[in-house]
Amino acid sequence: MNVLVTGGTGSFGKHFVRAVLESYKPERLIVYSRDELKQFFLRQQYPVELYPNLRMVLGDVRDRDRLYRVLDGIDIVVHAAAMKQVPAAEYNPLEAIKTNILGAANIVDAAIDRKVRKVLALSTDKAANPVNLYGATKLCSDKLFVAANGAGFYDTQFSVVRYGNVVGSRGSVIPYFLAQRPTKKLTITDPRMTRFLITLPQAVQFVLDSIHAMRGGEIWVPKIPSVRIQDLARVMGPDCEQEIIGIRPGEKLHEVLISEDDARLALELDDRFIIQPTHSFWRHSDEDWSGRGTRCPDGYRYASDTNTQWLNDREIAALVATVETDPLSEHPAITEPRFVVGG
């Protein structure tokens, strides 16, 4: 297989590259991103002499022509590139639209025309009942990828994975608290706030599993635990003061991965949910997942505050330790370059 990951030098991308190189033997694994310095650092970890199948390609998902060139001969695309910082999107809305929506449209067109077999796009809880621009752009992106299956003229399959807060990713809460901890003060937006948590290795494995299982049109949602942000702060900084600073623009008190409206289309499996599309191509197809899971009841809502799975103090401490010891994490105490051959 020839695999390409957009945003391949980001938090998810680096863990995806490590997992694929350690567990699979792709003919080519192409990292497509626009940051030459991050590509340089990633290449130091995986020297070309030892990893000749790993390629680094500079480019932007906004650049349609570049995508057409780089997707030639590709079998699988994992679309992880996004403008994802909520405040940045609020202040630069058109930039977020260009990357998250128009970039997704470019991926769809290029993948179809280059006869890519499978495209799996990464989404976010913020796309469920969005209250900020980032969530709205990712909802639009999800709609583009799901609808791309509906024409019936192409062999390319498109699906989406949607999960919550990624432990250790750039801009997420644990690296944020780790950076604040030496000051003996942790800032909390609201003491009632809850979040879903998933580790980067778990997110990568969920994506790999979804690539194997996807038929085109699904939104895959993992079952993951919740945490109270105040509990997270208490475990991470037992001797730190907690300062309440108020919810930021575009922020939610609780995360929602499946809304009441999505639940009408959702099936529950042992370790995940599948949100099936409403398009007629799915309902009149043998690819329908009905009969392979349990339909979610009317009014069901999969949210971080009503979740049945919660992290205890020991589990929280273990998660924090994974961020502090992972050489690929975005912990601010770990600086690049990181010369770790083979991950």
- Select which of 38, 84, 118, 126 is catalytic: 126
Please state, in angstroms and rounded to a whole number, the distance separating the CA atoms of residues 253 and 238: 23
Closest among 126, 128, 153 to 251, alpha carbons compared: 126
Our answer to whether residue 126 is catalytic in this structure is yes
CA nearest neighbour of 70 among 8, 25, 127, 14? 8
User: Please, which residues have CB within 8 angstroms of residue 285's CB and are 6 or more apart in sequence?
Assistant: none
Q: Which of 181, 255, 187 is nearest to 221 (CA)?
A: 255
Question: 256 — phi, psi (to 5°)?
Answer: -125, 125
Nearest of 61, 63, 65 to residue 82 by alpha carbon = 61
d(CA 77, CA 56): 15
Which sequence positions are flagged as catalytic? 126
